[in-house]
Structure formats: C-alpha cells, structure tokens
C-alpha cells in the first residue's frame, strides 16, 4: 500500500516560502554610506518557528484516495540587534538591543572587548621584543 497523503507537499511548500522570505540580506543589511566616510551595516537576528500536522480519515472504502485534513504554521521574528560601523579601516559593533540583565549575558557581551584587549596586549609584547 503506498502512502499518498499530502503532508510532505504542505511542509515543502511552507518551507519554500520561508526560504524565499529569509535571505542573507535579511540578517546582514545593505551598507549605508554617510557623507563623512562612515559605513553602517545593519545586523538583525532571525527566529523561526515551524509546525505542521495532518490526519488521514479512515473509511470503509479500500484503496483509492481517502479524505485528508492538515495544515502548517510558521512564525518568523526579525529583530534588529545593531550596526557594524566602519570608519578609517576600524570596525566596531554598536548594539541597539537592551543591555544584558544577568551576569552570564554580561560576560558573553564582554568577550569581544576582552579578546580585542588581549590581541592588543600580545601585539605590544611582540613589538617590544
């Protein structure tokens, strides 16, 4: 007995629509150039939720098509998180999200700054020797 229910087709159609909507340009926006030589690149975070289901109703009729009911749902959230600022060859991130509200989030937010300082320290040590 072959499986002819359309849940796979429903899911494929939904995922194709989500794929068309969510492109790289959605996460990393088009650069904005200012007259004073600064380039701003918007950065966003995307969250996607997907669900689907269906049921094939049974009947007394053997073989042939049986009634089917099903559906899919997708939720997409696009949230701006900041801008990459490029000025005079220096790149930095300006966050537009609210500051971290617990210790672990604060530590994660500080990692890039600490890494920059470690790199600067290592570079100074190399130049001194």
Q: Are residues 63 and 115 in the same domain?
A: no
Q: Are residues 90 and 107 in the same domain?
A: no
Given this model, what pLDDT does residue 65 score?
65
DSSP β-ladder status, 90-95 and 39-56: unpaired
* Domain residue limits at 61: 7-95
Where do we find the tokens 């672990």?
Answer: 104
CB half-sphere exposure, 89, CA atoms < 13 A: 0
Phi, psi of 32 (to 5 degrees): -115, 125
Q: Are residues 108 and 86 in the same domain?
A: no
Q: Are residues 86 and 105 in the same domain?
A: no
Of the listed ranges 45-54, 69-78, 102-111, the least confidently predicted one is: 102-111
Alpha-carbon gap, residue 60 to 58, rounded angstroms: 7
Q: What is the mean pLDDT of residues 115-124?
A: 84
Q: Are residues 86 and 37 in the same domain?
A: yes
User: Highest mean pLDDT: which of 1-10, 32-41, 53-62?
Assistant: 32-41
């Amino acid at each position: 007995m072959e499986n002819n229910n359309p849940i796979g087709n429903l899911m494929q159609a939904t995922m194709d629509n989500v794929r068309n909507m969510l492109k790289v340009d959605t996460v990393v926006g088009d650069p904005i150039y200012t007259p004073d030589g600064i380039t701003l690149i918007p950065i966003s975070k995307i969250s996607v939720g997907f669900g689907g289901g269906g049921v094939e109703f049974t009947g007394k009729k053997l073989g042939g098509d049986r009634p089917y009911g099903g559906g899919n749902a997708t939720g997409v959230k696009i949230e701006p998180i900041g801008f990459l600022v490029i000025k005079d060859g220096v790149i930095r991130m300006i966050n537009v999200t609210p500051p971290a509200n617990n210790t672990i989030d604060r530590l994660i937010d500080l990692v890039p700054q600490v890494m920059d300082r470690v790199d600067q320290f290592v570079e100074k040590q190399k130049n001194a020797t």
